[in-house]
Structure 1
Amino acid sequence: MKAVRYHTKRDIRVEDVAAPSDRLADDQVLIEPLVCGICGTDLHEYVAGPIVTPAQPHAYSGAVLPQILGHELSARVLDVGRAVTTVKAGDRVSIQPLISPRDDYYGRRGLYHLSEKMACVGLSWAWGGMGERAVVNAYNAIPVPDTVSDIQAAMIEPAAVALYAVDRGGIRSGSTVLVSGLGPIGALVLLAAKASGAALIVVSEPNPNRRALAKSLVPEAHVLDPRAEDVPAFLRVRTEEGVGVDVALECVGAEASLNICAAAVRRRGTVVQVGLHMRPAQIDAMQWALKDITVEATWCYPTTIWPRIAAMIGAGIFPVEKIVTAQIAPERVVADGFEALLDPSGRHMKILVDMKASA
């Protein structure tokens, strides 16, 4: 079968590989991937990896490079193991890609995303969404209703990161919010904050193309260039008594962005760390103390969030498909996918690989 495989830094190939066996374990599901997103984690692997892709066999899954990529995907079920009752052949599913023990400290508490042994489809599992076939565990295959398209189903995974961040920030009807950094996750955080009822939303983003996208996603949002405007000063004018926002979400993983969030949030406000920092960030810890700031750092998402997001998408209040800027064939994944997303102009936001398309 055809598969997009990551070998090492700057080395991604479309190759013919053996398809998975039709002999499934009792709790496994054979799927046909339909649409798969390219994630920021995939980009990090491409530019600087291996990072989370396993050069040595993974402690839990046993997976080892080369790795079939793709952990943001929709699929169709082809077959199921004899103990599987949650899905059947023909079902459309969104893949919740996290794989971890059910019986370790975190698994016993339902916190599967925090397991120290966690693996992930498309990163540290034998199969990924950029192959013509894949095998996953039954708990990874979440059925989606007809109100959710294949594209939307593939977008549930990154949307889960965003909605979890909004949940951790306690955003609700009437909240005032700053979204700092409008990459794909920041754009989904913007949509999730809107869906959660935020009354004032401000976006801080230096890239003009992404500022334009933010305005198209949520027209009532205030969209600022932090290089040209004083974001905390702007918020002082627009919040009650000039105190700042209730919640600031750092979505890019940059020191400057984190410090804007700390300056912009009110006393007893909340800063949510969403973006992944690749190096230590220097902060003014005294400012954080004087303002009595709550810090919520997020990693992945609770795996139970899938049906909620599907319901929000189906109801039309979480239009995740709006951040998709291109769909490409697997054969074009490097030139029109990874390299396009690394273009400093930031013309693209989210690129999806259509596994049924040909170059």
Structure 2
Amino acid sequence: MKAVRYHAQRDIRLEDVPAPSEELAPDQVLVEPLVCGICGTDLHEYVAGPIVTPIEPHVYSGATLPQIIGHEFSARVLKVGSEISHVAPGDKVSIQPLISPRDDYYGRRGLYHLSEKMACVGLSWAWGGLGERAVLNGYNVFKVSEGLTDVQAAMIEPAAVALYGVDRGRVEAGSSVLVSGIGPIGALTLLAVKAAGASPIFVSEPNPNRRALAKELVPEAIVFDPRSDDDIPAAIRARTEDKVGVDVALECVGAEASLNLCVDAVRRQGTVVQVGLHTRRASVDAMLWALKDITVEATWCYPTDIWPRVAAMIEGGSFPVEKIVTATIRPDEVVDKGFEALLDPTGRNMKILVEMGGSA
């Protein structure tokens, strides 16, 4: 079968590889990927990896490079193991890609995303969404309604990251919110705070194309350019009750300046949520955190039971995740029109998906 595999830094290839065996373990599912997104984690691997893709056999999954990539995907079930009853051949599914023990400290508490042995489909598992076939555990496969498009089903995974951040901020109707950074997760976070009923909503984003997209997604959002607008925290405070600042600020970049902007803009005893992943240490004003008596929440992935809620929000129309998709490409275009396009400093693309169905 054809599969897109990561070998090393800036070395991604579309290759012929052996298809998985159809002799499944009782708790396994064989699927045909339909649509797969390119994630920021994939980009980090491409530019600076290997980071989380395993050079040595993964401690839990045993996976090693080269790795079939892709962890944000929808699929069609082809075959199921003897113990599987929640999906059947022909079902459309969204893939929850986290793989971890069910019986370690975190697994016994249902906190599967926190296991120290966690693996991930498309990063540290034998199979990924950018292949024509994949074998997964039953718990990785979530049946979705045929009312969801292949694209919407693929977007549940990154939408779960965004919604978890909004949950951790306890955003509710009437919350004043700042979203700092409108990359794919920031854009989904913006949609999620809108769905929660936040108002007013502020955005900080240096890229003009992404500022324009923010206004398309949420027209009432008040958008700032951190590279040219003066004293954004003061401008935000001036638009909140008694000029105290926002209730919640969501940092979606993973950058020191963005984090400190959120701290400056949030009100006393407000909440800052770290959604973006930092790749280096950040210098912060911890005394200001104390003086403002703020809560700082940090998030990692998502609780895996969030899938039904995200799917329901998408199907109900309150979470239009498909609106951030800017391009769809073929597997043979994944480097030039996928990874390299997303690394373009002009940032004209937000979310690029790879159409896998029928690509043999």
TM-score normalised by structure 2 residue count: 0.99
For 1:67, the equivalent position in structure 2 comes to: 67
Deviates more, 1:188-197 or 1:140-149: 140-149
SS at match of 1:193: helix
Deviation at 1:236, TM superposition (A): 1.5
Aligned mates of 2:46, 2:232 — CA distance in 1? 33
Per the alignment, do residues 348 and 278 of structure 1 end up closer, same or farther by CA in structure 2, a change over 3 Å counting? same
SS at match of 2:302: coil
SS at match of 2:249: strand
1:107-131: per-residue Cα shift (whole Å, max 9, x none)? 0000000000000000000000000
Deviation at 1:357, TM superposition (A): 6.2
Which amino acid in 1 is paired with 2:273? V
Q: Percent identity?
A: 77
Does 2:226 correspond to 1:226?
yes
1:254-284: per-residue Cα shift (whole Å, max 9, x none)? 0000000000000000000000000000001
CA contact (8 A) 2:248 2:270 kept: yes
Aligned mates of 1:184, 1:231 — CA distance in 2? 22
SS at match of 1:339: helix
Does 2:14 correspond to 1:14?
yes
Which amino acid in 2 is paired with 1:50? P
For 1:306, the equivalent position in structure 2 comes to: 307
1:55-102: per-residue Cα shift (whole Å, max 9, x none)? 000000000000000000000000000000110000000000000000
Which amino acid in 2 is paired with 1:265? V
Shift >6 Å, 4+ stretches: none
Aligned mates of 1:9, 1:165 — CA distance in 2? 30
For 1:200, the equivalent position in structure 2 comes to: 200
For 1:39, the equivalent position in structure 2 comes to: 39
Deviation at 1:356, TM superposition (A): 2.9
Residues 49-64 of structure 1 correspond to what in structure 2 (within 5 A)? Answer: 49-64=49-64
Aligned mates of 2:208, 2:199 — CA distance in 1? 24
Deviation at 1:146, TM superposition (A): 2.1
For 2:282, the equivalent position in structure 1 comes to: 281
Deviation at 1:226, TM superposition (A): 1.0
Aligned mates of 1:351, 1:336 — CA distance in 2? 9
Q: Which runs of 5+ in 2 are unaligned?
A: none
Residue-pair matches, total: 359
For 1:96, the equivalent position in structure 2 comes to: 96
For 1:332, the equivalent position in structure 2 comes to: 333
TM-score normalised by structure 1 residue count: 0.99
SS at match of 1:164: helix
Aligned mates of 1:325, 1:357 — CA distance in 2? 21
Which amino acid in 2 is paired with 1:137? N
Aligned mates of 1:295, 1:228 — CA distance in 2? 27
Does 2:119 correspond to 1:127?
no
For 1:248, the equivalent position in structure 2 comes to: 249
SS at match of 2:33: strand
CA contact (8 A) 1:64 1:124 kept: yes
Deviation at 1:228, TM superposition (A): 1.5
For 1:321, the equivalent position in structure 2 comes to: 322
